[in-house]
């Protein structure tokens, strides 16, 4: 089964390098254009189902992509970005000023340490992986599937598929509105394409 992962289009907070997490930040005009460009990739892919994080930046990206395909994307809260707690809305530099202890712990062990009031990498990775495995179950789904989500959680999944720890998510975090393709057979996933621009 083909699984197409798309990171949402760019937002103003992406452009300003602010931490978004679960904060519901909408697409920037450029992000909508990116989504329209991504839609052209799927014209001949025979998509039957689409799933999206319920955050508006992902949801609108999915709606733009599927608008000409006759598919209604299903909103799935479990596909949300990592909850960045009290870091949301801040730059990385501001986090260091306001929460130096939390930032130091995150740098040293992001699998166990997270922002105050948020998730750590392990929690977000497990949540996202479980949800992706559930909605791509080959018993119930056979045709190519689109999943629109977020950079960090997609990065943790691709790292895991590549046999690496989720802590290496940065190496596998795709750029906005690019295509990452996985192939699933039974319970095994493999990476076919990563961070493909359209």
Q: What is the pLDDT of residues 24-73, one digit of tens each?
A: 999 999 999 999 999 999 989 989 899 999 999 999 999 999 998 989 99
Report the percentage of the chain scoring pLDDT > 90. Answer: 92
> Would you state the pLDDT for residue 77?
97
Residue 98 lies in a domain: no
> Would you state the pLDDT for residue 198?
87
How many domains does one find in the chain?
Answer: 1
Mark whether 150 is an active-site residue. Answer: no
Overall average pLDDT of the 92-116 stretch: 97
Residue 158 lies in a domain: yes
Give me the CATH number covering residue 7. 3.40.50.1240
Residue 28 lies in a domain: yes
Catalytically annotated residue among 8, 63, 102, 119:
8
**pLDDT tens-digit profile of 133-181?**
999 998 888 889 999 999 999 999 999 999 999 999 999 999 999 999 9
Indicate yes or no: pTM above 0.85. Answer: yes
Enclosing domain of residue 22: 2-83+119-196
Mark whether 8 is an active-site residue. Answer: yes
Torsion angle defined by CA atoms of residues 16, 34, 148 and 118, in that order, rounded to the nearest 10 degrees: 0
> Would you state the pLDDT for residue 50?
97
Catalytically annotated residue among 60, 63, 81, 102:
81
């Amino acid at each position: 089964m083909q699984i197409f992962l798309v990171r949402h289009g760019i937002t103003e907070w992406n452009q300003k390098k602010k931490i978004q997490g679960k904060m519901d930040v909408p697409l920037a005009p450029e992000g909508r254009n990116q989504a329209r460009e991504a839609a052209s990739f799927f014209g001949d892919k025979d998509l039957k189902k689409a799933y999206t994080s319920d955050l508006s930046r992902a949801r609108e990206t999915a709606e733009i992509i599927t608008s000409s395909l006759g598919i209604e994307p299903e909103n799935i809260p479990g596909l949300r970005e990592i909850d960045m707690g009290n870091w949301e809305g801040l730059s990385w530099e501001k986090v260091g000023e306001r929460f130096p202890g939390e930032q130091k712990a995150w740098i040293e062990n992001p699998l166990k340490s997270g922002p105050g009031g948020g998730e750590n990498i392990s929690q977000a990775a497990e949540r996202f992986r479980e949800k992706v495995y559930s909605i791509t179950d080959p018993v119930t789904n056979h045709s190519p599937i689109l999943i629109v989500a977020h950079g960090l959680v997609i990065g943790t999944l691709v790292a895991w598929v590549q046999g690496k720890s989720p802590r290496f998510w940065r190496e596998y975090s795709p750029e906005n509105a690019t295509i990452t393709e996985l192939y699933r057979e039974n319970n095994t996933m493999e990476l076919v394409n990563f961070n493909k621009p359209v």
